[in-house]
Homo-oligomer: A and B are copies of this chain.
Amino acid sequence: MLRITLAILLSALSFALPTHAEATFVQKRELQLAEHRFVDGRRLPVTLGFETYGRLNERRDNAVLICHFFGGSSHAAGRYAAGDPRPGYWDALIGPGKPLDTDRYFIVSADVLANINAHDPTVRSTGPYSLDPLTRQPYGGTFPSVTIRDQVAVQRSLMEDLGIQRWHTVMGASLGGMQALQWAVSHPDRVERVVTVAASGRADAYNKALCQLMIDAIRSDARWKNGDYYGQEAPDGGLASAWKLLFVHTLSRQGLSRGITPGDPASFLEALEAKARARIAEIDANAWISLSEASRDFDLGAGHPDYRSALGRIQAKVLAIAAEGDLLYPPELIRTDLVAPLADLGKPARFHVLTTEQGHLGAVYDMGQASEVLRDFLR
């Protein structure tokens, strides 16, 4: 009797569970654009991958756009399936009752063009690894150069497709923060709030140089062949060097040193190399170059008389979050090159520094710490 009851109960559960779970699973979606005109003048059809969480309200005033960082994707929250080892990267911030409350906001998270994770099947956005419809071969070296303004332009098309007139908030970390700021400069009337994390309004000399060194590392690999390596050996040596150069700058000094085993100094470099080789299996070298160029050349002043006049266009309220120990966008750089000039222009931005030992990656993994600041700012 007990056995039968249990069997019925289990059967009922196995029926109920998927239904309940399916409702919480996230789906990758795609927007096809017949033509995107790149900043460099070229026109191509492009696909944009995106995800949404929550529902657009009737007044269509609760839409939040999330832009992702260099190594990320649109997968900011939730899981695609029950077996997923990890949820999206900002799952601590996005969901019912969380600062980006999905019972309240309609959250749109967009993939960048030339997403580096080309070998990840959930990445769908067009990049140099995509097939050129004319030749039916990957674009490779013929893919247009991609700028932060291109990312914003395709997101603008997505906005229209979703029937949104104005973003409640545009938010992003690192490369995503650059996109959020670019939104506020390119479309000042369409953004109410900007939350930028571990990013500034332009690359400083150091960041420009690091991006160039990553590009050079890939280009100097004999297997790169001007970007036309598809179907052949990929420039993995150069890509591994680029990955390592970026990786050691995404942690704080102390955070990185935690990887050293006392008494075994060589093990750290071996582990770093192994980590690089494992990670780059998912990555396309040309896409890495594309996003490095976009980061290197990022300057809100592009297309405007100067940086200051570009900042002057911003109407959105700005929250700038920095991460302690960040080697790429140190709090002091964000304060002096973004927060202070905005204040000078009579546009006081809120500035918050995360206490973290993860440096730049704190912008992804320690953002839960900024929950109250974020709730307050979004209110």
Contact = CB atoms under 8 A, between A and B. Distances in A.
What class of interface size applies to chain A in its complex with B?
Answer: 35 or more
A260 B203 CA distance: 11
Contact of A297 (B208, B259, B265): B265
A238 B209 contact: no
Contacts of A208: 260, 265, 268-269
A346 interface: no
A209 B272 contact: yes
A296 to B, nearest CB: 8
Interface stretch (A17-25, A31-39, A112-120, A241-249): A241-249
| Secondary structure type dominating chain A contacts | helix
A213 B244 CA distance: 8
A372 interface: no
A237 interface: yes
A228 interface: no
Interface in A191-216: 204-206, 208-210, 212-213, 216
Interface in A276-291: none
A226 interface: no
A330 to B, nearest CB: 7
Interface stretch (A7-15, A53-61, A217-225): A217-225
Contacts of A238: 220
A7 to B, nearest CB: 56
18 contacts: A205-B253, A205-B257, A206-B257, A208-B260, A209-B256, A212-B244, A212-B269, A212-B272, A213-B248, A217-B217, A217-B220, A220-B241, A222-B222, A253-B330, A253-B333, A262-B306, A265-B299, A269-B296
Given A209-B268, A217-B217, A222-B222, 16 more contacts: A204-B257, A204-B260, A206-B257, A208-B269, A209-B248, A209-B269, A209-B272, A210-B248, A212-B269, A213-B245, A213-B248, A217-B241, A220-B237, A245-B245, A253-B333, A269-B296
